[in-house]
Structures are given as C-alpha cells and as structure tokens.
Chains A and B, each alone.
Chain A
Amino acid sequence: MDYQHIGITVLWTFLYGYIIIGAIDFGAGFFMLYAKITKKDHIISELVSRYLNPVWEVTNVFLVFFFVGIVGFFPDTAYYFGTTLLIPASVALILLTIRGAFYAFETYGKDTKFAWIFLYGMTGLLIPASFSTVLSISEGGFIEKTADGVVLDWFELLMSPYAWAVVFLSIISVLYISSAFLTYYAHQAEDKPAYELMRNWFLIWAGPMIIICQFVFLSLRQHNAEHFSMAVSHYWWLFGLSILFFIAAFVLIWQRRNHGLAFVLIMVQFALAFFGYGISKLPYILYPYIDLNHAVVNDSMALALVIVFIAGLLLLVPSLLLLLRLFIFDADYVSGKRR
C-alpha cells in the first residue's frame, strides 16, 4: 500500500472508533436526560455513570486523533474544510465543550443541577448532527471555488434531502448503538430494571435506523450519482452483509440471548456499512477538489507519520486493553461491587 492509502485507512478506522464509542457516550447522555424527565433516572443513572466516568476523556481523544491526523496526512483538507466549515465546526466545538465541561461539573461537582443534565443530554444529539454535515459536504456540491477562495453554499446545504437524511441517520444511530451497548452493560451488571428499559429502547430504535439508511442511499443517488453507482455495482455485498448482521443482532436481543455477541454484531454491521461507504467514495476526500492521490503530504513526512503511528499503537493498545479490563470486563466493577 502507498502512504495515502495507509493514511486514509488509519484515519477511517479511528473515525469508526469514534463513531462507536462516541455514539455510546452521546446516547447515554440523552437517555440520562430522558430518564430524568420521566422520573426513571434512579434506574439507569448509576449504571451509565459507572461506564462513562472512566472512559469519556478517552472518547474525546479519538476525535482529536482523527482531525489532527487528517490535516497531517492530507494538508489540503485544512484549507478546504477549514475555510468552509468555520461556522458549523465552531458550533460543533461549542456544543462539545459545553457537553464535556458540564458532564464533569455534574459528575464530580458537589451538587447536581437539572440545567447541566439538560445541556449534557441535548448536546449529545446535536453534536452528531453537526458533525454529520462534514460528511455531507465531502460528497461535493456544497462548496464553490471563487476568486476569493472557497465558500460553502448554505442554501444548497439546508435544502438538500441528502444532507438531512445523513443528519437523521446520525442521530438515530447514536440512540441505536448506545442502547445496544447499555443493554449489554446492564445485563452484565445483572441490573434487571435497567436492562429492561435499555432493551426496550433498543427495540424501538432499530426499525427507524434501518429505514433511514435506505433514505440515505436513495438520496445519495440524487446527489452524487458517481458515488452511488460505485457503491451499488462494486460494493453492494458489503452493504448486504451489513443488513444480515443487523438482523442477527436484532434477533439475539429480541430473544434475550448472547448480549455481548449481539453488540459485536452491531459493531460489525456499522463497520461494513461505514467502510463500504468510505471505499466507494475513493479517491475523493472532498469531491471533486481533494483527490487522495494528489493531496497526500510529502513522502518523508508520511513515512515519519506511519512510523509514529505504529509506535503509538504499540503503546496504546495494551493501555486500552488495561482500561477495558478494569472497567468494562471486570464483573465486580460493572455490577457496582467495586468502586
């Protein structure tokens, strides 16, 4: 593989990682808020915070890793996305800041405030929506090159069925992934009421999730026909497999069996769809301005980045496994016997 493909694979994998653990985090925040409003918070709040406390900071690093990495491997992205995304990215940043900070204030502070839980819960749904516009923009059609530089066509973006389909997909996926994970986590914790609640939420969100996926596909056909035909002619099997994994996961949770396996199936389901989307989009990072093969950083830097990446992984993977062992796979901790 050449540097640009190594680079984009690494970045896409980290983005995928962020989507999964970010979704769990964002969704959990929203469920906490919802439970608080419907007076069910005593059922899940302890479960959720037992999971979130040790991992929320790590979640955030996945995102930082992605955007630092993409600017490093493909400096042109800084110019095009940086210029056009000033407003949407600033909004996302502000939401992310409010969420992270008020989560900490609420959790580690002395007193709890409904306003803080509200901010924390609502931003959890708005952040995925605002980030998803980046993916929409990368399909092309929203950015124009003028004499003064590049500009984002807001009207086009706000009127685009494709962009809206992606926004809804991101929000619903968050609730879907999050409820699946928390179902598993509650089951591990042998916390019956929380388990029932989370399982119901999962069953509720599974349907809309798969329907909105089809909308995204159909509207992509309108928006970027080239990408669409690439996806259906060469990579249809990836998306087909993804649906099979979805069905298998749904059946398992429906029958209250193998919750850990069910969550793994969901992760595979998303991996297939996400990588299928990514591969069929190549070689464009931003259609038609940033072509992977021309935008890659100079060779010596690319080599240095790859070396650092491998060295970094050797350090990170064992550390991450330790973190998981201590807080996710430790039965005593999960069930609250150990604090």
Chain B
Amino acid sequence: MDGVIISRLLTGMTLAFHIIFATIGVALPFMFMIAEGLGLYKKDPAYLAMAKRWAKGFTITVAVGVVTGTIIGLQLSLLWPSFMRIGGQVIALPLFMETFAFFFEAIFLSIYLYTWDRFKNRWLHWLLTIPIIIGSTMSALFITSVNSFMNTPQGFDMVKGQLVNIDPVAAMLNDSFFVRAFHVVTTGGMTIAFMLASIAAVKLLRNRFESDRAYHKKGLKVTMLTGLIFSLFAMMAGHASAQFLHHEQPEKLAAMEWHFDTSSKADLVLFGMLDEETQEVKGAVKIPGMLSFLADNSFDTEIKGLNEIPADERPPLVIHYFFDLMVFFGVFSFAISVLYFILKKFKKEWSHHSFMLYMIALTGPMSMLAIEFGWFLAEMGRQPWILRGYMKVAEGVTQANGVSLVLVAFALLYLILGFSCIYVLVRIFKDKPAAIEIENNRANVGGEA
C-alpha cells in the first residue's frame, strides 16, 4: 500500500472513532439540561437522578472524546503537512476558535460535574449547562466550518500554488457551512436522544430492578420526544443538503445516486448493485423523477450525470450504499418514535410491549451508524480532492516513513480504548438501581433553600 492510502485509512479510522464520542459530547449536555430542568421544575427527584446518571456516563465518554480529539488535531499536521502548510493560511481561524469553544466547554463542564451540591439555589447549577451547550455547539460549528471549507473552498485566490488575498471570514462562512452545520447539530441531537432511549429500552427489557421501571419509562418518554423533534429537523437538514449538492457539488450527488447521464426527471435509486463497467444497476428500487424533485422541488430539474465529470475527478461509487444506509437508519428511528407516541395515545399498553422495546433499542445504534455512514459519504464523496478544485489528496500527504507502523499502533489503541470504555460504562450502571439515587435526590428538588 502506498502512503496516500495508509494516511487516508488512518485519518478515516481516527475520525470514525472520534465521531462517536464527539457526537455524544455535542448533544448529551443538552439532554442533561432537559432532565435536570424537568427535575427542578416538576420537583421530581427521578429526573434529577436521570441527569446525574447521564452526566456520570458522560465523564467517561468525554474523556475519550478529549483524547481522540487531541489525536486528530495533531494528526492533521502529521499526516497532511503539505496541505496544512498551504491550507493553514486559511483554516487557522476556525481551528483556533474551535479550541476556544472547547476550552470554554471544558471549564464549565468541570464546574458542573463537581458542584451538584454547592449552590443553595439549585437553578444556579442548572444554569451551568448553558455555557457547556454553547461551548460544545460552537466547537461543532467551527470544526464543521473547517470541513465545509475543504468541500467548498472560497475566500482566497490561488497563485502559483500559494493561497493569497485571503478573507478569513468569507472562508469560514463558506457556501456549504450553514447546510452542514444544521445537519451536524440536528443529527447529533437525534442520535443521543435515541441512544439514551435505547438504554432505557434495554433496561426495561432486562428488568433487573423492578423498582426502576417507572424511572426508565419516564426516561423513554423524554428521550423519544427529543429524538422525534430532532429527527424531524434532521430530515429537513438532509433535504437541504441534497439541494445544496445539486447546485454546488453535483459530482457527489451523481456518485451517491449512481446517476451517470445528465437528464431531467432523474430517478431516485434505492439500494441495488452496480456493475461499474457497464454502469448497469441491478435489483434497485427506482422512484421515477424523485431525484430531480429532491434536488430542486421539481420533477423536471436536470441533474448532472457522472459521465460529464472528468474520470480522474469522480468520487468512488461505493458512497451510494452509505447514502442508502444513512437515510434508511435515520428514517427508521424517526418512524419508531412516531409509532411510540401513536401507541402511547391510542394503545397505551402496547407502547411498552417487548416488540416495541426491541425496536426502540435498535434506534440508538442505528442513528449512530447513520452518523458514521453520513460522514463516510461526505468525506469519500469529495475524493480525489483534499481541497476541492484546488488540491488533490495525494499532493497533501506526508513524505515521512513509518506511516504503516503508526496505523497499526493507532488501530490497537482504538481497539483497547473502545473495549475498556464499554467495559467501564457497563460496570458503572450494572448493579446500581436508579431507585436508590432517586431516593438520595429527594431532598434536592425543593428549589430555593
């Protein structure tokens, strides 16, 4: 294997691992803000215990998020030094701002986690979630800005291989930034809500502590509702992304839909297998005209085909599968949350039926996979560019020896880390019924003291 492939593998591996914890990091504070707020507002110790338990699990995941985030931050320069040398002239601003946001979040998260009993007025402690959420959301936005710059670079001129006439703000607020930022934030919220719902569902299925049933049902209601709302927004964001791609990155849209010849009334292709030689698609469900409609709200819109893109600038066609899976998993989770509330309204006893609980248990992992597939799609979809239209991936890669050694070392590291993290998380909650914690928090829901 050559250096480019190994460097891509390593970067992909680090990001794929980091994104799990980054997603949790962005959205979980929002969830314990809701839970703690509900607890104080309704004077219900169950919600306070919920916030504390979520925050406790969060300390573990945030640690892994911090260290893997540090890794990717440095790996950018280690694996893509030539890119950073050129691109550093432009992306320095959002990267720098990201560290500030992260700094801000880290400080208030520390304060939040260690001051549960410090304040007489408990709403003051609740207020600490606001800077945490601002910090985590901002850091997601800034880092998304860096990535969207690489997809739709602007705010500079390229003269003899150097970037000049730089407008830092224009580069940061580039064309794809808002669409992607909206997508990142909404799918993050959706994923965490469903992950927590999955945990509640599994706990209800296992039913180890009879006394916890009411607690987990409460958890299910909060998380399913948050998940439902966020997934609605996420679908809107997805639709906006498709429209954006049609206008700005047609090669990505064409590759992900296996759309070879430019045409109007383009079909939406679901699943299927592709023979790359003949460009023939087998076994797919085709919805006539739907791609045109999705791209521009009209069945007659002309969609640019892949054959119009120079052969050495076409993204890999495998991204179609990632697209399908992302959409399928996302829609599945949304549908289950809708079903849950319909059942709750009309057939209450069915909403906690074990079949329903199994389905809910699937939503969390599926949403997380949808995030992974979505990023695979987004990143592989801009191949072969590292800076779309300006710099190919091969031009940005390191010349150093030993990349394969580093790849193996990090693969081992993530394996160990992933395994230990799951082990620790499971152990924390395994023999610890929530009922005891609820009892402990009973004195704390009074509000003013």
Contacts and interface: CB of A to CB of B under 8 A. Distances in A.
B168 A304 contact: yes
Contacts of B349: none
Interface in A108-127: 108-111
A109 B107 contact: no
Contacts of B420: 101-102, 105
A301 B166 contact: yes
Contacts of B100: 308, 312, 315-316
Interface string A81-119: 111111101100110111011111100111100000000
Contacts of A151: 400-401
Interface stretch (A68-76, A194-202, A251-259): A68-76
Nearest to A320: B107
Contacts of A72: 88, 92-93, 95-96
Contact of A60 (B66, B80, B98): B66
Interface in B388-403: 398-403
A55 to B, nearest CB: 7
B411 to A, nearest CB: 11
A339 interface: yes
Contacts of B399: 83, 148-150
Interface stretch (B54-62, B200-208, B228-236, B357-365): B54-62
B172 to A, nearest CB: 9
Contact of A87 (B69, B402, B428): B402
B70 A96 contact: yes
Interface string A310-339: 001001100110110011000000000011
Interface in A23-75: 53-55, 57-58, 60-61, 63-65, 67-69, 71-73, 75
A61 B167 CA distance: 27
A108 B104 contact: no
Interface in B325-348: none
A319 B107 contact: yes
A338 B402 CA distance: 50
Interface string B48-75: 0000000010011011101111110111
Contacts of B118: 326, 338
B123 interface: no
Nearest to A92: B74
Nearest to B400: A86
A31 B406 CA distance: 30
B272 to A, nearest CB: 41
Nearest to B92: A72
B168 A300 contact: yes
Interface stretch (B109-117, B174-182, B296-304): B109-117
Contacts of A104: 59-60, 62-64
A229 interface: no
B410 A94 contact: yes
Nearest to A63: B70
B225 interface: no
B403 A86 contact: yes
A77 B98 CA distance: 20
A93 B92 contact: no
A73 B96 CA distance: 10
Q: How large is the interface on B (under 10, 10 to 19, 20 to 34, 35 or more residues)?
A: 35 or more
Contact of B71 (A79, A93, A326): A93
A134 to B, nearest CB: 11
A110 B427 CA distance: 6
Nearest to A93: B71
Contact of A297 (B80, B81, B92, B427): B92
A216 interface: no
Contacts of B85: 75-76, 78-79
Contacts of A100: 63, 66-67, 70
B417 to A, nearest CB: 6
B108 interface: yes
A323 B56 CA distance: 20
A210 interface: no
Contact of B63 (A55, A83, A101): A101
B173 interface: no
Interface string B398-416: 1111110110011001000
B113 A54 contact: yes
Contacts of A83: 81, 398-400
Contacts of A69: 96, 99
Contacts of B110: 53-55, 57-58, 323, 327
A305 interface: yes
Given A151-B400, A312-B100, A326-B114, 20 more contacts: A53-B110, A57-B63, A64-B99, A67-B73, A71-B88, A75-B87, A79-B82, A82-B81, A82-B84, A83-B400, A87-B406, A94-B409, A94-B410, A98-B413, A105-B420, A297-B92, A305-B93, A315-B100, A319-B104, A339-B114
Q: Which A-B residue pairs are the 8 nearest by beta carbons?
A: A75-B88, A72-B92, A104-B63, A82-B81, A78-B84, A149-B399, A82-B77, A79-B85
Interface of A: 53-55, 57-58, 60-61, 63-65, 67-69, 71-73, 75-87, 89-90, 93-94, 96-98, 100-105, 108-111, 148-151, 297-298, 300-301, 304-305, 308-309, 312, 315-316, 319-320, 322-323, 326-327, 338-339
